[in-house]
Structure 1
Amino acid sequence: CPSYFAWIENDLAPWKETGISQQNLQDARSKADFRVVIVNGTLYMERYNKCFETRDDFTLWGLLMLLKEYPGMVPDVDLMFNCGDWPLVFRAEHQPEKNGSWPPPPLFLYCTSRGDHYDIVFPDWSYWGWPEVNILPWSLEKGKIFSGAKKLDWSHRQPIAFWKGNYDMGPARADLVKCTANNTHNYNLVTYHQDWFAERERNFNNSDLSKQCQHRYKIYVQGGGWSVSFKYILACGSTVLQIEPMFQEFFARSLIPFVHFWPVDRDNICNSTKFAVDWGNAHPKEAAAIGECAKSFLDKDLSMDFVYQYMLQLLREYGKLLKFKPVPPPEAQRMTLESSLPGHELTLPRNGPRPRKVCTLANSISADMMLSKQREGYKRIKLQAT
């Protein structure tokens, strides 16, 4: 079982002793965009707010696919879901010693912070497609990027760092772009602005991710909140330079600095990036191995089978905590694969046999140990790049 499964226990730990009551669930409603109730294998949805683009549609589609993949195995659950880019349940506001604020409201979300929030992390919508930016379901997009990466070996790629994205999202990106605007220093870095409105008009001619594997180093930097692009950047097999993130998705919490990616100091982006590139070009075998290790992780540990199994395990453990029997609310809409198709021609359920067994929760390395390794990596790079 992939090591990121260990985070399920960690995410649900706040409710281990108290369980989750109906009042706890209602406390999360003010932060939720929609509510999901699953009873006897049937999914019901009550919408509170329309999510950005089609995030809610594809998330619900993913849950419907889970019910089809594992018939009779998904427990009855009642949960609140937010589809934004920022975790919302602050640890500082919910402490065990403050009885009135404990336990925290159980809220499902696509990301969390590294220790400051209690949000329950769930796979994001893009695993089933992101048509607004012409991205296919993960299994197809991953294969497409893998094929593109094979066309140019790491050693033959441009020996500099590459980033393409929206310049106007967040201070870290603004600081990164300043590195390329400085004509007095060569930081071995190129950046390109991604204008999605213009790109749609050009039929996405310049945004094919499979054609962005031409540099030895690729940068992941978050915008104003969490950014969904990490897995696509890792898929090239380039050495990924990750500017220290504020937020993380479910699988990223198990990635280890200097094994799956090279950490970049958020407070010294230009010099830290240059240090990484210079080191990699001086140690090409070791740098290429980091990119290959990340690519192998995606291939073996982030298959759709494991994504579904993570969803299943999370809902199973969450369901055990409920202190009430889930019942569809009166205003809820019954969702089906036939009636809820989100408009993506390539999100149809797969054919073929289901996995013979469900993997068990990982116990080889704890969530706390993974978090500690990440913190140590960024602490180490601060010293090296100064």
Structure 2
Amino acid sequence: MFAQRNNSSSVRFIVAGALTSIFALTFLLFGREHSDVALKYIIKTPSHCEPQPHFPSLLHTPLRNESWEFIVERDGNNHGLSEEQCRTAFPKLFVEIDKSASLRTENKVTFKDLDSRNVEDGMVRGIIDRGELYIVDFAAMPVTATRAHATLNSLHRALMAFPDRHMLPSIEFIFTTEDFDNEPTGLAPIWAYSKRDSDDSVWLMPDFGYWAWPEVQIGPYHEVRRRIAAIDDGETDAQGALVPGLRFQDKKKQLVWRGSLATNPPVRGKLLKSSLGRSWASVRVIDWDDENDLRYNLLPIEDHCRYMFLAHTEGRSFSGRGKYLLNCRSVVISHPLEWREAHHAALVSSGLDANYVEVDRDFADLPHKIDYLIDHPEVAERIANNAVRTFRDRYLTPAAESCYWRHLVRQYASVCDFEPVLFSTDRDGKKHPRGVPFEMWLLRR
């Protein structure tokens, strides 16, 4: 009996020694990489990579044996839909995120990849830890400062509205408030408002306008949607009387566009040339630096919806007005789009389900297509109604935006081989906070 115990003790010592050696070797290898810097992340182990258990609130997610469908009047402003509800309501919304994730399945995002990108003008570096947002670095740029605040507020709202946010994966990320990533850096991932097919390192995020866009006098997104819906569907006035909306066939039978040529002269100049002298055209250039010009030519975004046809053109990259136009019960007319946005997978340009009209990039066929739509009002109205069903009442709702943010967090995390730490630890054991809680950061601005 004594010999048997002795053998068991020996085995335990051998196992303990082996484990100690493994931990020591791991420390040496890991410590060598971080010998001169504070520990900023941990490598995911296989257990970190496995799907985490999900315990949804019964009030938050419908039971499996209950049917649920997205109803815009009830759910359109609900920022806290469950993951299952998001996928049910918006099956086309996550195409670009899933595409970006698939490109990194075999080549995970490393901390070194992320750290290789400097946080320059207009960029923000942040951490999401157990559903809480922290700001690590912010390079303010006067022109886009409000964009950074708007984007961070939207992301924070999407996190706070989600009852199970503590179950979201922890990530570290960098985003740019520029119109696009103008200096691609190898494998360094970055979140941006728009991308081209060749921009493999860019992950699409919702643009700043989902919060507000003060520079062009566009207020909170939910308020803009209310004003647009009032034009198309009517509203109740202060005395409680119903003010009817504007029937599609009663809208101005013109193509409307207001904007600057400077951001994309080749494309926007062709729009002006193609519409010059046409009775169906209300196309004007705006000088944003001229107060008199703004007074006479600026058109409130909701008043675009009083026109039957809405021209959409790209600017330096995407054009922020696109999502507002698609909220209207009007026909959006656009050239082929080079720059992708989060909702573009839901665009349909042909067939009975068409929700916009595509013309040549030089707008050469614009007159012909406008004439056809004016001569076939039933076709134009069907396209406008499809746009409302697809975008205003589904893919461009506030609920869809928050669903998109959380899916971005999950998919980005799925291809990262590391998890960030909130407190970096020096070799002498001292800890330093790596990020500022968003609520505190916002109050310091």
TM, length-normalised to structure 2: 0.67
Measure, in 1, the Cα distance between the counterparts of 2:288 and 2:189: 34
The alignment-based identity, stated in percent, is 23
Question: Which residue in the other structure is 1:281 paired with?
Answer: 374
Structure 1 residue 54 and structure 2 residue 137: aligned?
no
Measure, in 1, the Cα distance between the counterparts of 2:327 and 2:282: 19
Q: Aligned pair in 2 of structure 1 residues 283, 85: CA closer, same or farther (>3 Å)?
A: same
Measure, in 2, the Cα distance between the counterparts of 1:198 and 1:211: 21
| Superposition map of 1:30-109 within 5 A | 33-51=123-141, 52-70=144-162, 71-88=165-182, 104-109=187-192
Shift of 1:194: 2.8
| Superposition map of 1:1-386 within 5 A | 1=87, 2=90, 3-29=92-118, 33-51=123-141, 52-70=144-162, 71-88=165-182, 104-150=187-233, 151-170=245-264, 171-181=266-276, 183=277, 186=278, 188-198=280-290, 206-258=298-350, 259-267=354-362, 269=363, 271-298=364-391, 299-328=393-422, 332-337=434-439, 340=442
Shift of 1:278: 1.1
Q: Aligned pair in 2 of structure 1 residues 149, 193: CA closer, same or farther (>3 Å)?
A: farther
Q: Is the 8 A contact 1:145 1:235 kept in 2?
A: yes
Measure, in 1, the Cα distance between the counterparts of 2:260 and 2:334: 16
Q: Is the 8 A contact 2:127 2:420 kept in 1?
A: yes
Shift of 1:338: 6.5
For residue 254 of structure 2, what is the amino acid of its counterpart? I
Shift of 1:5: 1.6
Q: Is the 8 A contact 2:267 2:313 kept in 1?
A: yes
Measure, in 1, the Cα distance between the counterparts of 2:292 and 2:280: 30
Q: How many residues align?
A: 327
Q: Is the 8 A contact 2:95 2:345 kept in 1?
A: no
Bigger Cα Rg:
2
Measure, in 2, the Cα distance between the counterparts of 1:59 and 1:8: 17
Cα deviations by residue, 1:206-263 (Å, 9 ceiling, x for unpaired): 4322222222111000122221110111122111101222212111233111311100
Q: Is the 8 A contact 1:152 1:214 kept in 2?
A: yes
Structure 2 gap ranges (5+): 1-86, 234-244, 425-431
Q: Is the 8 A contact 1:58 1:342 kept in 2?
A: no
Q: Is the 8 A contact 2:119 2:138 kept in 1?
A: no
Measure, in 2, the Cα distance between the counterparts of 1:107 and 1:300: 27
Alignment root-mean-square deviation, CA: 2.8
TM, length-normalised to structure 1: 0.76
Q: Aligned pair in 2 of structure 1 residues 122, 128: CA closer, same or farther (>3 Å)?
A: same
Shift of 1:179: 2.7
Measure, in 1, the Cα distance between the counterparts of 2:373 and 2:129: 52
Structure 1 gap ranges (5+): 94-100, 344-386
Q: Is the 8 A contact 2:100 2:200 kept in 1?
A: no
For residue 293 of structure 1, what is the amino acid of its counterpart? N
Shift of 1:201: 10
Give the ranges of 4+ consecutive aligned residues of structure 1 lying more than 3 Å apart after TM superposition. 28-32, 87-90, 114-118, 195-207, 328-333, 335-339
Cα deviations by residue, 1:45-71 (Å, 9 ceiling, x for unpaired): 233522414111111111221221113
- 1:248 aligns to what SS in structure 2? coil
Measure, in 2, the Cα distance between the counterparts of 1:199 and 1:72: 48
Shift of 1:310: 1.2
Shift of 1:180: 3.8
Shift of 1:89: 7.0
